[in-house]
Amino acid sequence: MGEHKMMSLYESRPGDHLLIKSLRLDGAMLRRLLDLGFVPGAVVKNVQRSPMGDPVAYQVSRTTVALRKEESSQIDCQKVKGEINHE
Amino acid sequence: MSEIHTSKNSLEQLFQHAGEMNHSREEIVGDIFQASRSISQDCVKYQEATNDQKSEKLDKILTSPIWGYPIMLALLGGVIYLTIAGANIPSSMLASMFSYFETYLTLGFEWIQAPEWLHGLLVLGLYRGVSWVVSVMLPPMLIFFPMFALLENYGYLPRVAFNMDRLFKGAGGHGKQSLTMAMGFGCNAAAIISTRIIESPRERMLAILTNNFVPCNGRWPTLILLSSLFMAAGYTGGLQTFVTASVVIGIVLFGIVITLLVSYGLSKTALKGVPTHYTLELPPYRKPKFWDTLVRATLDKSLYVLKRAIKVAAPAGVATWILANIDIGNVSVLEHIVTFLDPFAHSLGLDGYILMAFILGLPANEIVLPILLMGYLSTGAMTEVNDLDALKSIFLDHGWTWLTALNMMLFSLLHYPCGTTIYTIYKETKSVKWTLMSALIPTIIAIAITFIVAQIVRGLGWV
Amino acid sequence: MSDFRIALAGNPNTGKSTLFNALTGMNQHTGNWPGKTVIQAKGNYTFNEGNYTLIDLPGTYSLYSNSADEETARDYIIFDRPDVTVVVVDATSLERNLNLVLQVLEMTDQAVLCINLIDEAKKRNIRIYDDRLEKKLGIPVASISARNKAGINLLLKKIEGVAKGEIVTSPYQVKYSEQMEEDIQRLEPYVSQIVKGKYPTRWVTLKLLDGDRSFMDHLYQRVFSEGDVSHV
């Protein structure tokens, strides 16, 4: 596992645990994502893609929230080791 | 800041001053989140249980690339199939019960030697209007909505929005538009209010303008009835129900396609813009309280249907009877209207009566079919309708073919929203222009599509 | 006639409407999807011979000016000053929900935390220590299951306590960064002169620092059309 490589949330794969580093967004979208728990320092999990690949569902603050590519590609994160996941 | 004069100015000054301190919302929310996290770490203990991942596992199937769409379609189909399979018998029973009482009502009127017009107005107009709406509407609604409520309370609808988002994004809309469409199955007016969950004004407007392409409460029974009478006529038993359901599903899917196309067209023209931000929460599946949900949905819907029947069907029945029984020259007002509308209606594959029923049915879609029947009966020989076969012969007597039925279904699906919905759109948008558009766009589409279908079918000599 | 006004705030999909129905008996539909309640509903209930009016605020994730719903909920709490604001949270995602609770506590100290879906949390082996939360947050906490109508009585008792002033609260205040706290302290005296205890000073100061234009506009409208803030 490349644990320290920076990537966007969009590039993550189902099952990945990701530490959020920064959000390259502003205005209402930034505020909404912050409200939902996409804050720097939080660990989120890529749960799964929708049938057509986009949006993708993420687990954040013990809830599941779907984001589109437009937003998730603006969230920088690092892959971290999570619990073992059977896929 | 000593030269502050009024508090308004001083607040404004403070605001400016605070702005120069350069703090961000991100900073504030971040700190609140840190606090939330630390409190919750102190006060909540999680032990990952096996059923904690139930929702996740279920989502793997319900939103999977392979099974996501087929399951959606199967659920929609299943609900519609059961509705059709279950509604027929109680509908017929209600119809014969009402006609049984009608006989006694008529006898009663004769016994007190009431004038004929009074009997016509109250029994043939009011009573029949109400009884048809109730017998045609109530049974399918009482099967459809409890099932729908179960799916809704279980938490399936957000998954539909999740699955469909990519399509709506392609059409310039918002994934939550599918949630508001799901509301539209119940009532378009309520669905218009529910579009408030879409925060971007542009995408909300798309959802408002296209919501009508989802058949509501008042239109389901028309679709189901016509489909079973004309589309599945050659089949019997279970297969007949299956064909009926397939046609109804086809109509619903067609409505979704039109929704996407119109959304796309509008987002490229009058409502130009890029899709705005989007987040959608997928709440965990929750087992609904089965009987609670069923009982509540059933009571809610029966009450709703009965209220509508009395509020709109009764006056509509009376009005139609009056129109059919006041003569100008030797011909009733109703027939004058019908004759006037007929040529145009014919080019749409309909007839003057149908178009008149849609026009008089503006207050509520529920009354379109009863008005139509009353119109037919006012000129035809038949006087009683106590089962569904009798209904079909009324239609056949007036020259119906499967094309008439298909185009009436299409027109019902696509035409202008009902009066309540239009009023709601005005209240929500506060714009005369968009309210007019919300009525005009569907009407133009309804006319265009029924026209094209009629011309093609006739041109190819299929009817 | 009603003695107390109680506002229900909470994230979407926390069973707020279910609770509302359970208390008022009104037939409002509850579904399982975010943003279900879009219309503000009002209803009444009585408890220990007290009359209560319950106001169901729109379900929101926060109380900033992100949407019309959030502004509605925020304005109600700030301008209409309900006797008690009950924050309904989902026991299974308390962490995210606490976010809203902390925001409410910045706005009012007349608050009760209502942890709903406690049955769901139990099923998922989530244990919530009410007593610790109560101490930490400084407000009464009641765990309930609105759909099973469990725990409602305790909730109503705690609401009554806060409404009648029998329970004295000392709400948790979020501590911000040093720089932020410094700036808050610098501005607070001026803000306090203007709002004169009618509105929570620290919170209004935060709104200034946050640069929340929409709130300022609402404040101007409310305050200066009523003319209840005198010239300094």
Burial (CB count <10 Å: 0-12, 13-18, 19+), residue C231: exposed
B40 located within any domain: no
Burial (CB count <10 Å: 0-12, 13-18, 19+), residue C111: buried
Identify which of B33, B153, B300 has the shortest CB distance to residue C99: B33
B364 located within any domain: yes
A chain contacts of residue B34, beta-carbon cutoff 8 Å: 41
B chain contacts of residue A24, beta-carbon cutoff 8 Å: none
Identify which of A31, A32, A62 has the shortest CB distance to residue C95: A62
Q: How close does chain C come to A4, measured CA to CA in Å?
A: 27
Are C99 and B280 an interchain contact pair (Cβ–Cβ within 8 Å)? no
Nearest CA in chain C to B157: C33
Q: Does B28 touch chain C (CB under 8 A)?
A: yes
* B neighbours by CB contacts (3+ pairs under 8 Å): A, C
Are A68 and B278 an interchain contact pair (Cβ–Cβ within 8 Å)? yes
Are A34 and B33 an interchain contact pair (Cβ–Cβ within 8 Å)? yes
> What one-character DSSP code corresponds to residue C150?
B
Are A33 and B278 an interchain contact pair (Cβ–Cβ within 8 Å)? no
CB A36 within 8 A of CB B279: yes
* Interval A45-70 mean pLDDT: 91
Q: How close does chain B come to A2, measured CA to CA in Å?
A: 25
Nearest CA in chain A to C64: A31
At C7, is the pLDDT very low, low, confident or very high (cuts 50, 70, 90)? very high
| Residues whose CB is less than 8 angstroms from the CB of residue B200 and which lie 6 or more positions away in sequence, other chains included | B174, B276, B277
C chain contacts of residue B43, beta-carbon cutoff 8 Å: 94, 128-129, 132-133, 136
B339 located within any domain: yes
B59 located within any domain: no
Nearest CA in chain A to C92: A62
Identify which of B68, B169, B282 has the shortest CB distance to residue A51: B68
Q: Does B277 touch chain C (CB under 8 A)?
A: no
Identify which of A28, A35, A62 has the shortest CB distance to residue C99: A35
* pLDDT(C226) > 60: no
Q: Does B4 touch chain C (CB under 8 A)?
A: yes
Are C66 and A32 an interchain contact pair (Cβ–Cβ within 8 Å)? yes
Identify which of B48, B167, B277 has the shortest CB distance to residue A29: B277
B379 located within any domain: yes
Nearest CA in chain C to B280: C34
pLDDT of res. C202: 93
Are A28 and C92 an interchain contact pair (Cβ–Cβ within 8 Å)? no
Spatial distance between the Cα atoms of C39 and C31, rounded to a whole number of angstroms: 14
Range of the domain at B371: 68-459
Domains in chain A and their CATH numbers?
2-80 (2.30.30.90)
* Interval A7-23 mean pLDDT: 93
Provide the percentage of residues in chain B whose pLDDT is more than 70.
Answer: 95
* C41, β-bridge pairs: C56
pLDDT, tens only, B179-199: 899 889 888 988 898 888 887
pLDDT less than 70: residues of chain B: 1-8, 48-52, 274-275, 379-387
CB C135 within 8 A of CB C169: no
pLDDT of res. C21: 84
Q: Using alpha carbons only, give the angle C221, C225, C230 rounded to the nearest 5 degrees.
A: 105
Are C62 and A28 an interchain contact pair (Cβ–Cβ within 8 Å)? no
Rounded to 10 deg, the angle between the C178-195 and B25-43 helix axes is 100
Are C64 and A31 an interchain contact pair (Cβ–Cβ within 8 Å)? yes
Q: How are beta strands C111-116 and C141-143 bridged, if at all?
A: parallel
Two structure tokens written together for B29: 């929310």
B6 located within any domain: no
Q: How close does chain C come to B224, measured CA to CA in Å?
A: 26
CB B98 within 8 A of CB B135: yes
Are B29 and A31 an interchain contact pair (Cβ–Cβ within 8 Å)? yes
Identify which of A48, A49, A65 has the shortest CB distance to residue B279: A65
CB C174 within 8 A of CB C106: yes
pLDDT, tens only, C92-129: 889 889 999 999 999 999 999 999 999 988 888 889 99
From chain B residues 51-110, the ones with a CB under 8 A of any chain C CB are 51-52
In terms of pTM, does the model score above 0.90?
no
B34 located within any domain: no
Q: Does B1 touch chain C (CB under 8 A)?
A: yes
* pLDDT(C228) > 60: no
B203 located within any domain: yes
pLDDT of res. C19: 92
pLDDT of res. B431: 93
CB C59 within 8 A of CB C35: yes
CB C187 within 8 A of CB C208: yes
Lowest mean pLDDT among A20-24, C41-45, C185-189: C41-45
C chain contacts of residue B291, beta-carbon cutoff 8 Å: none
B chain contacts of residue C34, beta-carbon cutoff 8 Å: 158, 197, 280-281, 283
* Interval C43-48 mean pLDDT: 90
| Residues whose CB is less than 8 angstroms from the CB of residue B351 and which lie 6 or more positions away in sequence, other chains included | B338, B342, B345, B398, B399, B404
Domains identified in chain B, total number: 1
* A neighbours by CB contacts (3+ pairs under 8 Å): B, C
Q: How are beta strands C41-47 and C50-56 bridged, if at all?
A: antiparallel
A chain contacts of residue B284, beta-carbon cutoff 8 Å: 64
* pLDDT(A45) > 90: yes
pLDDT, tens only, C63-87: 887 777 788 889 899 988 999 999 9
**What are the C-alpha distances in Å from B176 to residues B167, B278, C131?**
12, 9, 39
